[in-house]
Amino acid sequence: MNILPGTKISLETVGGNRVNVTLLGMVANAYVVLREVPARSGLMDFSLNYGEQVVLRFLHEGTATGFRSYVLNMVREPERLLFVAYPTEIQRLPLRRADRVKCTLPAQIALNGELFIGVLADMSETGCQYVLRNSDLTELDDGVDLIEVEVDISAPGMDGEMVGLSGTVQRALRDERRLRLGIHFEERQSELFNELKDALNLLEGL
């Protein structure tokens, strides 16, 4: 398993409780160490004991990756760390299973309490890529971690009305010119996607 320390991981317990943690490191065929383990989840204390089953999910090279494991130990000092057994089997699922169309649609995004104008660069039924110019991001700190941040997008529909899309940032890549966000929608957008695909196909035939 070749993933880097600092990788964001979603950890799910048997009861369906999910928390976000970060990979600290691992010893092959022995254990995986997770940090930034929250003290609480919702209104309840978050604590795991030896032997409890967990599922870990994360993104690696454009692929949703996950494995089942069990807790080896949980320590609280000097920081909260969780040790889980090294996986014996890993499942991978390409994120781009859904058809995807390229487009350039001006759209507004609500991100970290601020509104920005950018473009939808491509879209599928389950998500999109949203691009913003760095020059338009004066209110956004370069060091802000955007992974797992919830966003709301207002984009033009095919009937001229604005369409609201809500989702979660799964990928954030920033270079000297642009910030590219890979966003997974909360709800599947089959109707909007099919309308957009039909419109683009029609334009290509002109």
Q: Is the same domain home to 49 and 123? A: no
**Residue 85 structural domain:** 8-94
Number of independent structural domains in the chain: 2
Q: Are 82 and 74 in contact (CB under 8 A)?
A: yes
**CA distances from residue 7 to 29, 58, 94, 144, 206 in whole angstroms, order as listed:** 19, 8, 18, 15, 46
CATH code of the domain in which 63 resides = 2.30.110.10
Q: Are 86 and 29 in contact (CB under 8 A)?
A: yes
Rounded to 5 degrees, φ, ψ at 119 are -135, 150
pTM: 0.51
Q: Is the same domain home to 191 and 128? A: yes
One digit per residue, the tens of pLDDT, for the chain of length 206 reads 778 899 889 999 988 888 999 999 999 999 999 999 998 887 778 899 999 999 998 876 666 788 899 999 999 999 999 999 999 888 775 544 457 788 888 899 998 888 999 998 888 888 999 999 887 776 666 656 788 889 999 987 766 678 899 999 998 888 888 899 999 999 888 888 887 777 666 555 43
- Rounded to whole angstroms, the Cα distance separating 132 from 141 reads 14
Q: Is the same domain home to 118 and 64? A: no
- Rounded to whole angstroms, the Cα distance separating 113 from 109 reads 10
Q: Is the same domain home to 76 and 109? A: no
- Rounded to whole angstroms, the Cα distance separating 122 from 103 reads 5
Q: Is the same domain home to 63 and 111? A: no
Residue that is last in its domain, among 44, 73, 94: 94
Q: What is the DSSP letter of 87?
A: P
